[in-house]
Amino acid sequence: MHLFDEPKIDCHAHVFDPVNFPYGRHIAYKPAGQELGTTSQLHQVMKSYGVSHALLVQPNSGYGSDNSCMLDAIANGNGRFKGIAIVDLDAGAGVLKQFQTLGIVGAAINPTFHGNDYYRHADGLMKRLADLDMFFNLQVENEQFLMYAPWIENIPVKVLIDHLGRPTPEAGLNQPSFAAMLRLAKTERVNVKISGYSKFAKAPYPFNDCWPFVHAIVDAFSLDHCVWASDWPYLRAPERQDYGPLVQLAGELFPDADDRRKLFWDTPNRLFKFA
């Protein structure tokens, strides 16, 4: 079977459709041009590369906490989509339960956008997510993860870490934040997205300086806690990015078909219960 035909679940993609879902007036960054990606366009991309389902992540850019575009994609996706929403940090159980009925499986926490101080009391939300068996979806960079590590260790919440934790390649595998993330593999509640290389790589495609971090994560967490994602449609990408080469890169990093089956399908399907 060709790599593009292997069954896949994309675990981090966005939808942007400012014609039908206008951006918020006060949102600082409004994606345009090739950054746009409507639900219809995502369907076509998925069809081309053997992707049957996707976990949509609400973007801070364009929409912020207005989840309408993503929720519309989920509602009209015939079961192909689930989502990670941006919610108020004080959102109660009732609000979170309502989101669950709409296909939302977790909440997005993005210190790379807001900074850590914005989330200094996010442990309360983490506890409510744990009570509802929802995911705490965390995107960090540099040493931001260190604030969350004690909470993750002590609160029994399921965690999704975006883009390998966005380590600093030149700082090596022993940089404090990355090392702390690896130690949390012992919780068996933390899951890592193998994705987003262009957000932290210093080398161009195929992002060779990211490969040691991929291998370290797989060694620590195993493929039972790793999922693949595209990060489509590549918001603020520093250079041209395309879906096909990222699928091919997964083939290079994981040449064994059984490993790819776990990464592309078995693990995300178990976590997000698509099929």
Q: pLDDT tens digits, residue range 138-168?
A: 999 999 999 999 999 999 999 999 999 999 9
Residue 220 CA to residue 232 CA, distance in Å, equals: 27
* Residues 9-13, mean pLDDT to the nearest whole number: 98
Check residue 46 and give its pLDDT: 98
* Residues 248-260, mean pLDDT to the nearest whole number: 98
Check residue 245 and give its pLDDT: 98
- 163 conformational bin, left if phi > 0, alpha if psi -120 to 50, beta if neither: left
Check residue 195 and give its pLDDT: 98
Neighbours of 222 (CB within 10 A): 13
Residue 70 CA to residue 126 CA, distance in Å, equals: 22
pTM of the model: 0.97
Assess whether pLDDT exceeds 90 at residue 1.
no
User: Which helix H or strand E contains 109, and what residues bound it?
Assistant: strand 104-109
Residue type, position 89, single letter:
L
Check residue 275 and give its pLDDT: 76
| pLDDT tens-place string over residues 105-116 | 999 999 999 999
| Beta-ladder partners of 106 | 84, 135
Q: Tell me if the domain spanning 3-272 has CATH number 3.20.20.140.
A: yes
| pLDDT tens-place string over residues 80-101 | 999 999 999 999 999 999 999 9
Check residue 111 and give its pLDDT: 97
* Residues 68-73, mean pLDDT to the nearest whole number: 98
With a CB cutoff of 8 Å and minimum separation 6, the contacts of 2 are: none
| pLDDT tens-place string over residues 132-146 | 999 999 999 999 999
Residue 185 CA to residue 151 CA, distance in Å, equals: 14
Check residue 113 and give its pLDDT: 93
With a CB cutoff of 8 Å and minimum separation 6, the contacts of 265 are: 6, 7, 8, 9
Residue 184 CA to residue 167 CA, distance in Å, equals: 16
Check residue 87 and give its pLDDT: 98
